[in-house]
C-alpha cells in the first residue's frame, strides 16, 4: 500500500506541475491490484502541503481504512468507474481551463487532428447534464453513473476521458501516472480544438482512416510507435 500511496502522491503532484489545477481543484486516485482498496488525494488540502502519507485509503464502499484526512469529495465518482471498468488503474479529475470550457459549453471535443487521434479513438464525449434528483441525491455517485452512461460498454481505454457537462474533465488510464498523462493530452487537444474553431468555425473532422492509423500505431497488437518493452 505504501508503494501505491507514493504513486498516487506523485501523480497528484504532477497536476500543478502541468498547470492542470488551481488551488485544490483536482485529484488523482489509484486502485490496488486486488481491487479491494483505492488511494486518493485528501479533500481540500493544498498541493504544497501534501506528503505521501497524507493519501487516503478507502475500501470499495468508500469507507476510510487508513489516513488522517477525509478523502476527496469526488471519491464516489472514482469508485463507480473502478467498479464498472476493470481495466482502469488510475483516475484524474481536474478543472483545467480549456477542457472545462468545452464542458461548460456542453460540447464534445471533436477529433480534428492527429494529436487527438494518438490518444482518443474519436471525439472526447460530453455527458448530458445531471438532473435535479441526481444532484440533490448521491451527487458524486451519479456523476460516475453519467460518465458510465456516456462511455457505454466499450473499452474505456479507447477514449480515456470525458468532459462532464457544466463541470469538467475526468480522465483515466492503466495507472495513476498514465491517467495524468491522458489528462495533460486532453487539455492540450481541447486547446487545439478551441483555437482551430476560432480560425475556422466549421473545421473538417479528421478522416476516419487517418484517425485509425494514428490511434492503432500507438495502441493494440499492431502498434509500432516507440520502443518495444525490454
Percent of the chain topping pLDDT 90: 96
Asked if residue 228 is part of any domain, the answer here is no
Q: What is the mean pLDDT of residues 182-208?
A: 97
CA distances from 49 to 13, 23, 25, 96, 129 (A): 10, 11, 14, 21, 34
What total of structural domains would you count in the chain? 1
Asked if residue 207 is part of any domain, the answer here is yes
Q: What is the band of 222 on the pLDDT scale with cuts at 50, 70, 90?
A: confident
Give the mean pLDDT of the chain.
96
Is residue 220 predicted with pLDDT exceeding 90? no
pLDDT in tens, 98-145: 999 999 999 999 999 999 999 999 999 999 999 999 999 999 999 999
From the CB of residue 122, how many other CB atoms can be counted at a distance below 10 Å? 19
Question: What confidence score (pLDDT) does residue 13 get?
Answer: 98
CA distances from 170 to 124, 138, 163, 210 (A): 11, 18, 6, 26
Question: What confidence score (pLDDT) does residue 1 get?
Answer: 84
Inter-helix orientation angle 75-84/139-151, to 10°: 40
CA 89: distance to chain centroid?
A: 11
Asked if residue 179 is part of any domain, the answer here is yes
Q: What is the mean pLDDT of residues 81-94?
A: 98
Instruction: Categorise residue 62: left if φ over 0, alpha if ψ from -120 to 50, beta otherwise.
Output: left
Q: List residues with catalytic annotation.
A: 118, 225
CATH of residue 32's domain is 3.40.225.10
Q: What is the band of 228 on the pLDDT scale with cuts at 50, 70, 90?
A: confident
Question: Residue 1 in 3-state DSSP?
Answer: coil
Grid cell locating 30:
489509484
Question: What confidence score (pLDDT) does residue 76 get?
Answer: 98
CA 140: distance to chain centroid?
A: 15
Q: What is the band of 189 on the pLDDT scale with cuts at 50, 70, 90?
A: very high
Question: What confidence score (pLDDT) does residue 148 get?
Answer: 98
Question: What confidence score (pLDDT) does residue 47 get?
Answer: 95
Report the C-alpha gap between 6 and 19 in whole angstroms: 21
Asked if residue 211 is part of any domain, the answer here is yes
Q: What is the mean pLDDT of residues 48-61?
A: 97
Is residue 229 predicted with pLDDT exceeding 80? no
Is residue 214 predicted with pLDDT exceeding 80? yes
Asked if residue 116 is part of any domain, the answer here is yes
pLDDT in tens, 170-179: 999 999 999 9
Report the C-alpha gap between 85 and 104 in whole angstroms: 26
Asked if residue 229 is part of any domain, the answer here is no
Question: What confidence score (pLDDT) does residue 197 get?
Answer: 97
Asked if residue 150 is part of any domain, the answer here is yes
Question: What confidence score (pLDDT) does residue 230 get?
Answer: 74
Domain assignment of residue 93, given as a range: 2-216
Burial class (CB in 10 A: 0-12, 13-18, 19+), 116: buried
Report the C-alpha gap between 116 and 109 in whole angstroms: 9
pLDDT in tens, 9-20: 999 999 999 999
Asked if residue 227 is part of any domain, the answer here is no
Report the C-alpha gap between 136 and 115 in whole angstroms: 39
Amino acid at each position: 500500500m505504501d508503494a501505491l500511496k507514493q504513486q498516487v502522491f506523485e501523480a497528484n503532484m504532477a497536476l500543478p506541475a502541468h498547470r492542470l489545477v488551481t488551488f485544490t481543484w483536482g485529484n488523482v486516485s489509484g486502485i490496488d491490484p486486488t481491487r479491494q482498496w483505492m488511494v486518493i488525494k485528501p479533500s481540500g488540502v493544498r498541493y504544497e502541503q501534501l506528503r505521501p502519507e497524507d493519501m487516503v485509503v478507502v475500501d470499495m464502499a468508500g469507507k476510510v481504512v487508513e489516513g488522517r484526512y477525509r478523502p476527496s469529495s469526488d471519491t464516489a465518482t472514482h469508485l463507480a468507474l473502478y467498479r464498472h471498468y476493470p481495466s482502469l488503474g488510475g483516475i484524474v479529475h481536474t478543472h483545467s481551463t480549456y477542457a472545462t470550457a468545452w464542458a461548460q459549453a456542453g460540447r464534445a471535443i471533436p477529433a480534428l487532428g492527429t494529436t487527438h487521434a494518438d490518444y482518443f479513438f474519436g471525439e472526447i464525449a460530453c455527458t448530458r447534464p445531471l438532473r435535479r434528483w441526481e444532484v440533490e441525491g448521491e451527487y458524486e455517485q451519479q456523476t460516475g453513473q453519467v460518465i458510465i452512461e456516456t462511455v457505454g460498454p466499450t473499452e474505456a481505454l479507447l477514449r480515456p476521458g470525458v468532459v462532464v457537462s457544466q463541470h469538467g474533465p475526468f480522465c483515466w488510464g492503466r495507472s495513476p501516472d498514465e491517467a495524468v498523462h491522458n489528462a495533460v493530452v486532453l487539455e492540450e487537444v481541447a486547446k487545439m480544438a478551441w483555437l482551430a474553431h476560432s480560425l475556422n468555425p466549421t473545421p473538417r473532422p479528421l478522416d476516419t482512416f487517418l484517425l485509425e492509423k494514428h490511434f492503432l500505431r500507438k495502441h493494440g497488437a499492431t502498434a509500432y510507435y516507440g520502443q518495444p518493452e525490454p
